[in-house]
Amino acid sequence: MLITELSTLQEKLQTRFGDDITAAMIHADQLTIEIPSEKVLEICSALCDEADFQFNQLIDVCGVDYLSYGVSEWETESTTTTGFDRGVETGIEHKINWTKPRFAVVYHLLSTLQNQRLRVRAFLDENNLLIDSVIKIWPVANWFEREAFDLYGILFKGHPDLRRILTDYGFVGHPFRKDFPLSGHVEVRYDAEKKRVVYEPVDIEPRVLVPKVIRQDNRYQAPVPLPPKT
Amino acid sequence: MRLVLELDGEVVQRADPHIGLLHRATEKLAETKPFNQSIGYMDRLDYVSMMCNEHAYVMAIEKLLGIQAPIRAQYIRVMFDEITRILNHLMQLGANALDNGAMSMFLYCFREREDLMDCYEAVSGARMHATYYRPGGVYRDLPDFMPQYQPSKWHNKKQVHDMNKNRQGSLLDFIADFVEHFPKKIDEYETLLTDNRIWKQRTVDIGVIAPERALQLGFTGPMLRASGIAWDLRKTQPYAVYDKLEFDIPVGLNGDCYSRYLVRIEEMRQSNRIVKQCIEWLRKNPGPVMLAEHKVTPPSREIMKSDMEAMIHHFKLFTEGYCVPEGEVYAAVEHPKGEFGIYLISDGANKPYRLKIRAPSFVHLSSLDEMTRGHMIADVVASLSSIDVVFGEVDR
C-alpha cells in the first residue's frame, strides 16, 4: 500500500479515536496502532463497521511476550578488557529499556473493500491478563483466541469456549512464554511394565547453540551528527 | 486430528476438531535459531506447498532488512510458487476424490506430481523440503541439466531411454515440456469428475458457505473465491513480479464443495499460464539470482579462497547469522490454500524475537463445525477434504 494512503488512514484513525490511540507508527509500509486493552471491543467494532475503515476480515490474532525483548546472550561491546565468553551461559545480559507491559495481543485486520491492512496492538499487564473477546465482531477469532490462551495464558472475556487447542490434554503451563523452556517440562514414553504411556520430567539439558546477539549496525541507524571540533 | 462428532442418527449436530497432535512449536523453535536456519522449518509447515511458505518467510525478512531480491530471482520464485500451486492442487484433487471414493484420480494426480517434484529436486537437491528461497534471492540459478533415470531391475535400457526423452535439455526445457502437456491432463481429470453424476451427488450443495459468512469466518484463497468473492493477493496486493504477468482469478458461484473443486481446477490452468510466461522471461534474461550484499548472503566459494573480507563474511554468516533491524512486519503471500502470513518481530538480534505463522488451513478448519452441521457423516469427509487441510500448518 502507498505511504500516502497509510498516512491518510492514520489521520482518519486519530481524528476518530483521538486519545484512545496511544501510539501509531508506520514501519515497512505497515501501519500499527496501539490501544488500551479495555477499549478493544469498542474500537474494533468501529473499525469493522464504520464506512471509513470497513475492516471486514480479521486475518490474525496472536499473543506476544516481551519478557526478554532486547536481551542478548552474548556481549559484543565493552569486551575489550574481559575478552569474549563462549555465549553458552545466560548470565551476561544487557537490556534495551522495555517500559511497556509484558504481554500484548496483536490483531491483523484486512479490508477487502478498501484493500488496506492495519495492525492493532493492546498491551496487557502481567497481573491482569484479561481482554475482551472480539468473537462477536469476527467469528474467526474463535480459534485464534483459544491459541493465544493456550500458548500465553491470555484470557478472553466473552469467549464461549476458551479451551486449550494446540497442547496436550492436561498440559500445564503456557509454552510460548519466554520463561518456559524450549524443551518443556515433561517427556513421554511407553512403559512396557505398566503397559501405558508415562509422563516423566525432561532429561534434556537446555543449551544455546547459536547465542542471540544484538549488534548496533550503522546502516540501520539515523546518522549521528559529528561532535564539534575543538 | 481427532474429530469429535455429536450425532443424531447419521446427522451431525456438532463437530469439534481436536488439533495439535502435530504441534512442534515451530514458532518457538524459530525464536532460538538464526533467521536462515528456520527456512527449512517453513517447508515442513504445509508440506505440500513448500516453496510458498518459504516465500512468505523470506519476504518478511527482506522487508525488515529493506532489501529486494534481483528480478531474475523474483521470476524464479514466482515460477516455483506456481509450480507449487499445481503440486498442491493436484494433491488436493487426488485426495479429495479419493475421500469421496474415486480411487483413480489419486493415481493420475500423483503421476503429474512426480514430474514437478523432479523440478524441485533439480533446482534444490530435495524433492520436497527444498529450502531454496533465501533472503536476498534464491539459493542458486536454474540448472542446465535434469537428473536422468538409470536402468534398473524394473526398467530396462529401452524403457529408461523413453523415460528420459524430455530430460535431455535444461530444467526450463523440462518445465516447458510439462506446461505444454499439462492442460490436456487437466482435461482428462475433468472428464473423470466434472460431469460425473456420483461426484456431483457427493459435492454439490455440500458445505455451503455464503460470501458474507466466508469473510466473517476469515476465509481466504480458493475457499473465499469459491464463495464468490474475487480476492486474490496476487492481484490486489501484488508481490514479487505478479503485477507483470497475465492471469485471471476464477470465482465460484455457490460456495459448496463442487465450486471449490471447480475453482481449484481453473487455478491450475491459470498457474500453468503463469509458469509459461515465466519460462519465456527467464530464457531471455540471464542475471544474478542472489544479492551481492554479503552481510546477508554468502559470498561465492571461489572469491572466499582469495579475499579476506569474503572469508570473514562467510564465517560470520554461518556462525552467527545476520542481525535484522528492530521492528515488526507482516508479509503475506497467496498460498495455494489461502493467505499465508508471517508476522515477524525483531529486537535487532540475529534471531526472530517472535514469529507468528498465519496458516490458512487453521482458519478454514475452524469453520468445519459450521460447514457440516445438519449434514450426514459422509458429507463431513467431503467437506473436510474440500477445505484442503494439511496438519503440518494447522498445528505448526
Is residue A51's pLDDT more than 90? no
Cα dihedral A150, A155, A159, A164, rounded to 10, equals: 20
Lowest mean pLDDT among A2-6, A220-224, B30-34, B347-351: A220-224
Residue A2: what pLDDT?
A: 56
Residue B30: what pLDDT?
A: 92
Residue of chain B whose Cα is closest to the Cα of A143: B366
Confidence of residue A226 (pLDDT cuts 50, 70, 90): low
Q: Do A62 and B215 touch (CB under 8 A)?
A: no
- Round to whole Å and give the CA distance between B146 and B262: 33
Residue B234 identity (one-letter amino acid)? R
Q: Record the cell numbers describing residue A62, joined without a space.
A: 496472536
Name the residue among B216, B320, B358 with its Cβ closest to that of A138.
B216
Average confidence score pLDDT of chain B: 91
- Round to whole Å and give the CA distance between A222 and A217: 10
Give the mean model confidence (pLDDT) for residues B41-68: 91
Residue A94: what pLDDT?
A: 54
What percent of chain A is modeled with pLDDT above 90?
31
**Residues in chain B closer than 8 A to A117 (CB atoms):** 330
User: Within a domain: residue A107?
Assistant: yes
Q: Which of A166, A208, A217 to mutate to test the interface with B (most CBs of B within 10 A)?
A: A166
The DSSP call for residue A80 is T
Residue B1: what pLDDT?
A: 85
**Residues in chain B closer than 8 A to A106 (CB atoms):** 343, 356
Chain centroid offset of residue A110 CA: 19
Strand partners, A61: A107
- Round to whole Å and give the CA distance between B228 and B251: 5
Could you tell me the end-to-end alpha-carbon distance of chain B, in angstroms, rounded to an integer? Answer: 13
Residue A208: what pLDDT?
A: 81
Name the residue among A106, A119, A167 with its Cβ closest to that of B23.
A167
Residue A14: what pLDDT?
A: 84
Residue A84: what pLDDT?
A: 56
Q: Do B358 and A108 touch (CB under 8 A)?
A: yes
CA distance, residue B193 to nearest chain A CA (Å): 32
- Round to whole Å and give the CA distance between A8 and A13: 9
Name the residue among B27, B218, B354 with its Cβ closest to that of A138.
B218
CA-closest candidate to residue B331, choices B241, B229, B240: B240
Q: Which domain holds residue A191?
A: 3-216
Give the mean model confidence (pLDDT) for residues B154-183: 90
Is residue B363's pLDDT more than 90? yes
Is residue B57's pLDDT more than 90? yes
Residue B382 identity (one-letter amino acid)? A
**pLDDT: is A225 or B318 the higher one?**
B318
What percent of chain A is modeled with pLDDT above 70?
83
Residue B141 identity (one-letter amino acid)? D
Is residue A222's pLDDT more than 80? no
Instruction: Calculate Rg over the CA atoms of chain A.
Output: 22
By residue count, chain B amounts to 396
Is residue A28's pLDDT more than 90? no
Residue A25 burial (CB count, 10 A): 13
User: Within a domain: residue A31?
Assistant: yes
Are B188 and B281 in contact by the 8 Å Cβ rule? The answer is no
Q: Record the cell numbers describing residue B195, joined without a space.
A: 460431469
Dihedral pair phi/psi, residue B272, rounded to 5°: -55, -40
Name the residue among A59, A175, A208 with its Cβ closest to that of B358.
A59
CA distance, residue B21 to nearest chain A CA (Å): 7
User: Within a domain: residue A225?
Assistant: no
Helices within A18-75 (DSSP H only): 40-49
Residue A212: what pLDDT?
A: 85
Give the mean model confidence (pLDDT) for residues B238-248: 91
CA distance, residue A28 to nearest chain B CA (Å): 6
Confidence of residue A13 (pLDDT cuts 50, 70, 90): confident
CA quadruple B316, B317, B318, B323: dihedral sign: positive
Q: Do B330 and A57 touch (CB under 8 A)?
A: no
User: Within a domain: residue A134?
Assistant: yes
The CATH number of residue A89's host domain is 3.30.460.80
Q: What is the pLDDT of residues A113-154, one digit of tens each?
A: 888 899 999 999 888 899 999 999 999 999 999 999 999 999
CA-closest candidate to residue A34, choices A129, A145, A123: A123
Give the mean model confidence (pLDDT) for residues A194-202: 92
User: Within a domain: residue A208?
Assistant: yes
Residue labelled with grid coordinates 512468505: B56
Residue of chain A whose Cα is closest to the Cα of B347: A70
**Residues in chain A closer than 8 A to B350 (CB atoms):** 210, 212-213, 215
Q: Which of A49, A56, A60 to mutate to test the interface with B (most CBs of B within 10 A)?
A: A60
Q: If residue A150 lies in a helix (H) or strand (E), which one and from where to where?
A: helix A141-152
Q: Do A214 and B349 touch (CB under 8 A)?
A: yes
Helices within chain B (DSSP H only): 26-30, 39-43, 50-65, 71-99, 103-124, 157-163, 171-193, 197-203, 211-216, 221-226, 233-236, 257-284, 301-306, 308-319, 360-366, 368-372, 377-387, 391-395
Are A72 and A94 in contact by the 8 Å Cβ rule? The answer is yes
**Residues in chain B closer than 8 A to A100 (CB atoms):** none
Give the mean model confidence (pLDDT) for residues B308-333: 90
User: Within a domain: residue A229?
Assistant: no
Q: Do A27 and B328 touch (CB under 8 A)?
A: yes
Q: Which of A75, A214, A218 to mutate to test the interface with B (most CBs of B within 10 A)?
A: A214
Number of helices (H), then strands (E), in chain A: 3, 9
- Round to whole Å and give the CA distance between A10 and A24: 7
- Round to whole Å and give the CA distance between A137 and A147: 18
User: Within a domain: residue A227?
Assistant: no
**Residues in chain A closer than 8 A to B37 (CB atoms):** 210
Is residue B60's pLDDT more than 90? yes
Residue of chain A whose Cα is closest to the Cα of B62: A28
**Residues in chain B closer than 8 A to A29 (CB atoms):** 63
Name the residue among A1, A112, A213 with its Cβ closest to that of B349.
A213
User: Within a domain: residue A223?
Assistant: no
Concatenating the DSSP letter of every residue in B223-262 gives HHHHTT----HHHHS--TTGGGS-------SS-SHHHHHH
Q: Do B215 and A215 touch (CB under 8 A)?
A: no
Is residue A80's pLDDT more than 70? no
Q: What is the pLDDT of residues B75-115, one digit of tens each?
A: 999 999 999 999 999 999 999 999 988 889 999 999 999 99
Residue B113 burial (CB count, 10 A): 17
Distances (CA, A) of B71 to B43, B239, B242, B282, B291: 23, 12, 12, 10, 10
- Round to whole Å and give the CA distance between B269 and A174: 45
Are B34 and B253 in contact by the 8 Å Cβ rule? The answer is no
**Residues in chain A closer than 8 A to B356 (CB atoms):** 60, 62, 106
- Round to whole Å and give the CA distance between B263 and B247: 14
Residue of chain A whose Cα is closest to the Cα of B230: A112
| ipTM computed for the complex | 0.88
Residue of chain A whose Cα is closest to the Cα of B215: A57
In SS3 terms, B26-67 reads as HHHHHCCCCHHHHHHHHHCCCCCCHHHHHHHHHHHHHHHHCC
Q: Do B349 and A1 touch (CB under 8 A)?
A: no
Strand partners, B18: B2
User: Whole-prediction pTM value?
Assistant: 0.90
Residue labelled with grid coordinates 505398566: A194
Is residue A223's pLDDT more than 60? no
Q: Do A58 and B366 touch (CB under 8 A)?
A: no
Name the residue among B217, B236, B339 with its Cβ closest to that of A139.
B217
Q: Domains in chain A: how many in total?
A: 1
Q: What is the pLDDT of residues B248-293, one digit of tens each?
A: 999 999 889 999 999 999 999 999 999 999 999 999 999 899 988 8
Q: Is A59 exposed, middle or buried (0-12, 13-18, 19+ CB in 10 A)?
A: buried
Is residue A77's pLDDT more than 70? no
Chains A–B, number of C-beta pairs less than 8 Å apart: 118
Give the mean model confidence (pLDDT) for residues B146-152: 88
Residue A12: what pLDDT?
A: 85
Give the mean model confidence (pLDDT) for residues A77-98: 58
Give the mean model confidence (pLDDT) for residues A220-230: 60
Confidence of residue B222 (pLDDT cuts 50, 70, 90): very high
Q: If residue A193 lies in a helix (H) or strand (E), which one and from where to where?
A: none
Residue labelled with grid coordinates 529408461: B160
Residue A97 burial (CB count, 10 A): 7
Angle between helix axes B171-193 and B257-284 (nearest 10 degrees) is: 160
